[in-house]
Amino acid sequence: MSPTFKQVMAVMAAVSIVATLLSPVPALAQRSVAQPVDRVIAVVNQEAITAGELESRVAVAQRQLREQNRPAPSQDVLMRQVLEQMILARVLAQYAKEVGVKPSEPDIDRAVAEVAQRNSMSVQQMREQLSQQGIAMASFREQLAGEIISLRLREREAVSKVSISEAEVDGQLAKRGGGASSEYEIAQILLRLPSQPDPQALQAKSVLAEQLVKRASEGADFAGLAREHSEAPEALQGGSLGWRTAERLPDLFVNAVARLQPGQVAPAVRSPAGFHVLKLVDRRSQAPQAAQVTRTRARHILLAATTPAGEEEAKRRLAEFKRNIQSNAASFEAVAKQFSIDGSAAKGGDLGWLYPGETVPEFERAMRDVPVGGISEPVKSPFGIHLIEVLERGAAENTPEQMRAAARQALREQKADETFDQWLREMRERAYVEYRLEQP
């Protein structure tokens, strides 16, 4: 699923979705702003980041904050946050190159076109709007490519490795108890710790966490504290995690805020990532699982993709199939029968009626975004590359089997989030990073 223009602009403001579980970096001197643009300020596994690159990203972040009417943190803090996110982005891009995870130019072209379409403008109009904001199209494409890489690495390193037992599904259903569940709007300040912190660092972060809890509880602006102190990716958004169901939050967070009233701050809690200061912004009841759910009747064409080269070839072929189908040069059913490697090929790729949670997450997300009668772009899943056509949608009874499937899906997403967070943290800690901030 491609990001919206606003989401991408948030990424351009150094609040990228890939910037999760980072380690702290040294303070930046204010004088670094005035340094020559070609000065190397950090080396990431022998790849340089220059002062000019950092200044450009910081300027975008400042502009984005102004447009959102949000106060910016101090220049030193903002530069530190942006630099660290740039470092992690380099680490991920380097790893993605090693394992052959790389969006093609057509992939990025499609993402650009979809972002423009979702914002009711042409690509040229979006290019002009970006230019007016001082953002080069090449930089915009680079950020989109980074987001695509992050999503693909999440599927590779987390989603595909998550397994859910029947006992876990039973526990999830027991939590819901058939009644209304809760949605939480939470803001957090994250003080990160390395995997094996020394006692002094642990004590310092613990003391700071308690101080922040005290200040926030006494009425200090939590969003301002988050922008100044948090090392989480949503720091520049005041620490807001947005509305999330209990299933999409770590149990640690849910337990911490469960007894709070909106506006209250929980005692600091510690996770493998560090110390979390959590504020319950609001809570609302989510209606019990509806007696009816939306089901989708779809069909697909599946091609194998066991190597990076094979993946690109499968995407190319499926894109060609889509063009032929949409121009009426071929029928979806005939192409599926001839080329699909799935067991549904004999039925023209027809998968019948699909309920929420019955397919793997990447397939379900793509299918959900396709209108009735529409055909998706090529979609990668653990099974290969799919081309999906949505035939019908309609309401159906939410059976116990479907409730189990939905619970399994929620658990899979939660585990994937946690697994990917841990993987990112390990990748960052293993990377060689040399800071050259104080060099002339």
Assess if residue 68 is contained within a domain: yes
CATH of residue 24: 1.10.4030.10
In contact, 391 and 370? CB cutoff 8 Å = no
In contact, 64 and 135? CB cutoff 8 Å = no
DSSP alpha helix (H) spans, 237-307: 251-257
Q: Hey, which residues does 389 pair with through a beta bridge?
A: 299, 375
Banded model confidence at residue 19, pLDDT cuts 50, 70, 90:
very low
Token representation of residue 378: 């090529």
* Distance from C-alpha of 256 to C-alpha of 270, rounded to nearest angstrom: 11
Looking at the structure, do residues 152 and 15 belong to the same domain, yes or no? yes
Assess if residue 440 is contained within a domain: no
* Distance from C-alpha of 392 to C-alpha of 75, rounded to nearest angstrom: 53
**At residue 378, does pLDDT exceed 50?**
yes
**At residue 1, does pLDDT exceed 50?**
no
Task: Calculate the alpha carbon distances from 32 to 60, 95, 436 in Å.
Answer: 17, 29, 10
Looking at the structure, do residues 128 and 221 belong to the same domain, yes or no? no
Residue 284 CA to its chain's centroid (Å): 24
Place of tokens 């972002």: 115
* Distance from C-alpha of 60 to C-alpha of 77, rounded to nearest angstrom: 15
pLDDT in tens, 46-90: 899 998 888 888 887 888 788 777 777 888 888 888 898 889 889
Domain that holds residue 312: 292-397
* Distance from C-alpha of 375 to C-alpha of 136, rounded to nearest angstrom: 31
pLDDT in tens, 327-367: 999 999 999 999 998 889 999 999 999 988 778 778 988 99
Looking at the structure, do residues 150 and 21 belong to the same domain, yes or no? yes
Place of tokens 């002339």: 440
Assess if residue 419 is contained within a domain: no
Looking at the structure, do residues 316 and 335 belong to the same domain, yes or no? yes
**What is the residue type of 112?**
V
Looking at the structure, do residues 26 and 140 belong to the same domain, yes or no? yes
Assess if residue 65 is contained within a domain: yes
Looking at the structure, do residues 312 and 343 belong to the same domain, yes or no? yes
- Between helix 123-132 and helix 137-157 the angle, nearest 10°, is 110
E-strand ranges in 287-329 read: 292-303
Q: How many helices (H) and strands (E) does the chain have?
A: 14, 11
**At residue 168, does pLDDT exceed 90?**
no
* Distance from C-alpha of 365 to C-alpha of 167, rounded to nearest angstrom: 25
In contact, 45 and 432? CB cutoff 8 Å = yes
Kindly give, in sequence order, each residue whose CB lies less than 8 Å from that of residue 119, ignoring residues fewer than 6 positions away.
Answer: 4, 5, 6, 126
- Which residue, of 239, 270, 286, is where some domain finishes? 286
Assess if residue 316 is contained within a domain: yes
Sheet with 379-381: list strands edge to edge: 350-354, 292-303, 384-397, 379-381
Number of domains, the chain: 3
Looking at the structure, do residues 200 and 327 belong to the same domain, yes or no? no
**At residue 36, does pLDDT exceed 60?**
no
Q: Is 391 exposed, middle or buried, given 0-12, 13-18 or 19+ CB atoms closer than 10 A? A: middle
DSSP alpha helix (H) spans, 100-217: 105-118, 123-132, 137-157, 166-176, 199-217
Looking at the structure, do residues 9 and 117 belong to the same domain, yes or no? yes
Per-residue confidence (pLDDT) for residue 251, from 0 to 100: 86
Looking at the structure, do residues 190 and 143 belong to the same domain, yes or no? no
Banded model confidence at residue 109, pLDDT cuts 50, 70, 90:
confident
Query: Average pLDDT, stretch 151-174?
Result: 84
**At residue 33, does pLDDT exceed 60?**
no
Looking at the structure, do residues 76 and 197 belong to the same domain, yes or no? no
CATH of residue 385: 3.10.50.40
Looking at the structure, do residues 219 and 274 belong to the same domain, yes or no? yes
* Distance from C-alpha of 64 to C-alpha of 78, rounded to nearest angstrom: 12
Q: Hey, which residues does 255 pair with through a beta bridge?
A: none
Element (H, E) at 427: helix 400-430
Assess if residue 415 is contained within a domain: no
Looking at the structure, do residues 150 and 193 belong to the same domain, yes or no? no
Assess if residue 402 is contained within a domain: no
Per-residue confidence (pLDDT) for residue 371, from 0 to 100: 93
In contact, 42 and 83? CB cutoff 8 Å = yes
Neighbours of 244 (CB within 10 A): 15
Assess if residue 417 is contained within a domain: no
Per-residue confidence (pLDDT) for residue 118, from 0 to 100: 65
